[in-house]
Amino acid sequence: MRPLAPWIRTRAGADVFIARTLSETAPAWQTARLRQEPDHSIGRMPRSPRTPLRLPLLALLLAALALHFSGLLDRADDALADRMLSRHAQSRTPPADIVLVAIDQKSLEDLNEIAGSWPWPRAIHGELLDGLARWRPKAVAFDVMFNESDAFRPDSDAVFREIVKGQDNLFFASLRMPDGNAFPLDQLPPRFGAERGANAAPGAGAPLLLPQVLAPESWQGGLINFEADADGSGRHYRLFAETGGWRLPYMGASIARAGGAALPPDPRIRLNWFGAAPRTISFSDLLDDLGQREPKIAPTLADSILIVGATAPGLNDMRPTPLGKLTPGVYVITTAIANLRAGDWLRDLPLRWPLAALLAAGLVAGFLRRKRSPLVIGLWLAAVSLACLAGAYGAYGYQLHAPVGGALMLAWLGFGLLTIEAHRQERREREATIGIFGRFLDPRVVEGLVETGELSRERKPEARQISILFSDIRGFTTLSETRTPEAVVDLLNRYFTRQVDVIFRNGGTLDKFIGDAIMAFWNAPTDTPGHAEQAVAAAVEMTLALDAFKRDLAARGEGLGDFDVGIGVHTGPAVVGFLGSDSRMEYTAIGDTVNLASRIEGTTKGVARVLVSDATRAACGETGRFRFVHRGQFHVKGREQPVDLYEPMLHSAS
C-alpha cells in the first residue's frame, strides 16, 4: 500500500485525500458525471424555465387549427348563437303588414270536398287572387311551385293563367336544381329579374324549375332554395345566385326591392328572427271570407304583403333554423322581407380569433404569475366568459352577430392544457425542491414544508439569527494510515449517516461536508423556536452517536483507536439562502457567525468534545435541558478579544 501521510497532515490534506479517494473508488460513469454534470443534490440549482407554457400553447395552436378545419369551431359559434338569438327573438314582433296565408291542415281538410287532395286545382289559387284584387295588397307571393301543367285539369290552369295576366303585384317561386336540363338564361323574361353581368358567358344556362304554368311575362318572383349552413340549419337568406355571369334573384329580395327597399351588395344576409309567427290567416278562411258579401278579413289586407305558403306538417316544408328544427319554410321568406325592408338584418363581427388571442394572452399572463392558482384563473375565465356571453347577447340589440362560442371553447381548452402543465410543473418543482432541501433537512420534514408552501427555491438570501454547528473528526491521520481508501470511504459514509440522522432528528439543516467535517445550522430555512438549545442537543447527541458507533465497530473487530470528534456551536446573525451562479448554487450560510463557529470547533482539542459560545449559552438559558461549564477564555483567529467558551452537560449528568 502506498504511503498516505502526505495527504493527511492538515485538514486541507484530508479534504484532498477524501476527494481523491472518492474519485478512485467510485465507478467511472459516476465520477465523470461529478466532473461534468453536477446533480441537483450536490448543489446545482435547476433553472426555472422561462417558457414553461410553450408545450401547452403549441398543443392549443394545433388543436385550434384542427378544430377550425374540422368545422367544430363554427358549430360551437352557431350552437351558442342559436340559443341566444332564439331568446333575443322573443323581444321582436314581426311587422303586421307581412301576412302569411297558410296552406295549413285546416285548409287541406276544409277544401278536400271541393278541391280534392293536395295539390289543388290552380283555379283555387286563381279564385283567391281574383278576390284579393279588389283590396289591392302591395304584393301577393306564392311559396308554391307552378312548374308543371295539370294534365288532368288543363282548364283550371288556363283560368289561373288568365287571372294572373291582369295583375302586376304577383310573385311566383322558382327553384335552382343541382342537375337537370339547363334553361338558357338569356331567354328568361325581363320580369323574372335576372341580371346579366359584363362577363356573362354566351349561351349560359342553369337547371331551373320555373312557373311554366304561367305566361313568361308573369314569371316575376325568384328562387326559393333553402340556404343551409354546414350543419343543415338555416341562418341566412340569399339575395341572389350567381351562375354563368348572371345574377338570379331570390323571391324575398325581389319583393323587398319592389317595395322600395335598398338591398345590400352582399349575396346573402344573416336573418334577425322574430319570436312570434307572422300574422297568419288560414287559406280556406280567407277564401271563404272573399266569397262573402261583406268580407271582414280581406279589407284588413290592403297595402299588405301576402305570402302564400305551406305550414301543414304533411306538406314537408319544415326547415331547421335557430327557432327550432321544424320551422315552416315560409317563415324564412317573411323574415327576410321584414329584415330587408327595415334594414335590421344581422351584421357579422369577425370576433373569433381576436377574442381567442386575447383570452389566451390573459391565461398565459395568469399562469406565468405563479402566485395565482388554477382555481383563481378558472374563476377569472368563468367571469370573462359570462361577460362575453352578455356582450354577444347585447350585440343583437344593435343588429350585430358576435360569435363567441368558438373562442370560449378554445379558451377553456387552453385553460385545461395550461392547468395540466401547471400541475406538471408544480410536481416537478416540488420534487426538485424536495430533492434539493432533502440534503439539508429530514426528508419527512421537507415534504410537509413543501406541502404547506413554507419552502420555495425562489426565496432570496436573507439575514437571520441562526445557530451554527461545526463537527470535525479527531484522529483521522491514524485512521487513514491503517485502512485502504475504500475502507476509509465506507467508514466515513457510515459515520456521516449516523451524524446526519442526529442533526435531522434535532431539526437541523445540513449545510455541507467539508472533507471529514460537517457544517449544520438551525432556524433556516424555516423558523425554529429554541434553535440554540436544539443545536446544543444535536452536538451532545452526536458525541453519544459516535460512542455507539465505536462500540459497534469494536464488537465486529474494527477498532478505531483515537478516532474522536470535536464540535463547536455559536449563535448569531448570518445571511442564509441560495448563493452562487445560475448554473451552480448552494443553500448555505455566510457571515462572521459562521467563521466563529468554525474557530470554536478548532479550540476543542484537548479541552472538550463540545464547546459553545457565550451567545449560545445565553440563548439556551439556565432553565433548559443543559447546564454549561465554563472552560475559559480563548483567543481565536479574527478576534481581538478572547472568547468565553462553555461545555454543555445534561442537568442529570454529574
Q: Quick: pLDDT tens for 94-144.
A: 999 999 999 999 999 999 988 888 999 999 999 999 999 889 999 999 999
Residue the block writes with cell 338569438: 85
Identify which of 261, 211, 234 has the alpha carbon closest to the alpha carbon of residue 98: 261
Between CA 357 and CA 362, with CA 361 as vertex, the angle to 5 degrees is: 120
Q: How many CB atoms lie within 10 A of CB 42?
A: 12
CA–CA separation, 600 vs 567, rounded Å?
A: 8
Q: In a 10 Å sphere around its CB, with 0-12 CB exposed, 13-18 middle and 19+ buried, how is residue 32 labelled?
A: exposed
3-state DSSP call for residue 566? strand
Identify which of 81, 50, 576, 128 has the alpha carbon closest to the alpha carbon of residue 352: 81
Does the pLDDT value for residue 489 go beyond 60? yes
What are the backbone dihedrals phi and psi of residue 87, each rounded to the nearest 5 degrees, phi first? -70, -40
Helix runs in 370-475, H state only: 374-395, 405-437, 443-452
Percent of the chain with pLDDT over 90: 59
3-state DSSP call for residue 631? strand
Q: What is the average pLDDT value for the chain, to the nearest integer?
A: 85
CATH code: domain 454-650 is: 3.30.70.1230
Percent of the chain with pLDDT over 70: 86
Identify which of 358, 414, 351, 423 has the alpha carbon closest to the alpha carbon of residue 63: 414
Contact 573, 463 (CB under 8 A): yes
Residue the block writes with cell 404569475: 369
CA–CA separation, 124 vs 631, rounded Å?
A: 128
CA–CA separation, 389 vs 385, rounded Å?
A: 6
Instruction: Note the pLDDT of residue 42.
Output: 37
Whole-prediction pTM value? 0.66
- 408-434 burial: b if 16+ Cβ within 10 Å, else e: bbbbbbbbebbbebbeebeeebeeebb
Q: How many CB atoms lie within 10 A of CB 289?
A: 19
Q: What is the pLDDT of residues 395-416, one digit of tens each?
A: 999 999 999 999 999 999 999 9
Residue the block writes with cell 303588414: 97
Instruction: Note the pLDDT of residue 647.
Output: 95
CA–CA separation, 170 vs 162, rounded Å?
A: 13
Span of 101-105, 386-390, 436-440, 523-527 with lowest mean pLDDT: 436-440
Q: How many CB atoms lie within 10 A of CB 12?
A: 10
CA–CA separation, 143 vs 318, rounded Å?
A: 13
Instruction: Note the pLDDT of residue 401.
Output: 95
Does the pLDDT value for residue 10 go beyond 50? no
Residue-range domain boundaries for the chain: 54-75+349-419, 92-345, 454-650
Mean pLDDT confidence for 74-78 = 92
Q: What is the pLDDT of residues 525-567, one digit of tens each?
A: 888 899 999 999 999 999 999 999 988 888 887 766 677 899 9
Up-side HSE of residue 589: CA atoms within 13 Å toward CB? 32
